[in-house]
Amino acid sequence: MNILLCALAALAFAPAAHAAAPRTVEILDGPVAAAIDARLTEAAQTRGFGGAVVVEMGGKTVLKAGYGYADREAKVPFTADTTAQIGSITKTFTALAASQLAAEGKLDLNAPVRTYLPGAAEPAASATLDQLMTHTAGLDDYCGEDFDRRTRAELLSTCMAKPLRQPPGVSLYSNLGLSITAAAVETAAGQDWESYLREHVWRPFGMTRTGWTFPGRPRSDFATGYLNDRRQPLISDQIAALNGADWNLKGNGGLQASAADMQRFYHGLMAQPEAVRALVLSPHAPGETVDVREGYGLFFRLDDQGRTLRAGHGGSDGTFFSYLALFPGRDAFFYFVGANGEVPARDELKGVLKTVQDALPPLR
């Protein structure tokens, strides 16, 4: 039985609870796409998966599809155009903004961040943007819960005054570090972080379904998350309710985007000036393990010769789980998002990502 017939057989024996789960395929081309499509079709039918995937290999999109429901109650199918949480992949956007400004000479990534945030509290004020973006500043991970009210002034005073968790120079993941980076971006750009991204990233890249808040957008455009089958609130509504006191998330998480927009992000990134690409697409510091290096908004997985196998970043709030992957030198891109809990979505990602990686040509 071939892969597509296996998928149809899986539908025939799917449990009744998910038997009507939709499947919206825009592009399906070749055996890799067929294998992934079969897996995620079964996941939607039998395991309650709701999400989307885009796979590009050799400069050609081979799969662009959505599976299951973006809104179970309203029976809205998940598509590649559904706007969904990207979680910590927000950091990749903040890092790109800082890299653009650095390439223009507006930010010195090796200068203390107090250069751009006068009066900011120590010890974080002495960290460089390079350290903040590579998680080597020694900062704590958080300065409160995601939806605790936190103004920009409080970020620069209360949060930046928190004692270091370890001496600078060693990898220690910090959401706080990317919020501080976002504040520096605002100073250097002379505009707020969201406006900068809209004008210099989302709009020029053609990303029309990406943002922080979405005034006037219909609810049907967005994915609802389901944790243990319980409906979760929409993150942009929670952010809007903070009325600007949203700095526990700003710069490090909370963005939403469609899978199709994330593919546009990839192409926009690859079309950036060489000085920008050199900053974003290169590792800059040791990671937590010998085969991982820290970059600006990306983690780099290396082979035993020190070559980059994969550059990527994941994002999760416990409900949504997303993953962005670029394969330098092998002309491939991958994006995945699931909305039915991090653990089950991550399980699907592992199988899907392995299918992609196994099909890529070896590094030369």
What percent of the chain has pLDDT above 90?
A: 89
What's the confidence (pLDDT) of residue 16? 38
**pLDDT tens-digit series, residues 23-47:** 999 999 999 999 999 999 999 999 9
pLDDT at residue 233 is higher than 50: yes
- Specify whether the CB–CB gap between 316 and 232 falls below 8 A: no
- DSSP 8-state symbol, 128: B
pLDDT at residue 157 is higher than 50: yes
Backbone angles phi, psi at 355, to 5 degrees: -60, -40
What's the confidence (pLDDT) of residue 3? 35
Identify the band that residue 8 occupies on the pLDDT scale cut at 50, 70 and 90: very low
Identify the band that residue 13 occupies on the pLDDT scale cut at 50, 70 and 90: very low
How confident is the model over 96-113, as a mean pLDDT? 98
- Specify whether the CB–CB gap between 340 and 226 falls below 8 A: yes
pLDDT at residue 18 is higher than 60: no
pLDDT at residue 2 is higher than 80: no
What's the confidence (pLDDT) of residue 65? 98
What's the confidence (pLDDT) of residue 19? 56
- What average pLDDT is seen over the chain? 93
- Specify whether the CB–CB gap between 45 and 10 falls below 8 A: yes
The DSSP line for 71-127 is ETTTTEEP-TT-BEEEETTHHHHHHHHHHHHHHTTS--TTSBGGGTSTTPPTTGGG-
pLDDT at residue 12 is higher than 80: no
What's the confidence (pLDDT) of residue 4? 35
Instruction: List the domains of the chain with CATH numbers.
Output: 1-80 (no CATH), 87-327 (3.40.710.10)
- Structure-token match 């570090």, residue found: 177
- Specify whether the CB–CB gap between 205 and 172 falls below 8 A: no
What's the confidence (pLDDT) of residue 6? 38
Lowest mean pLDDT among 106-110, 219-223, 275-279: 219-223
Backbone angles phi, psi at 356, to 5 degrees: -65, -50
Lowest mean pLDDT among 212-221, 263-272, 317-326: 212-221
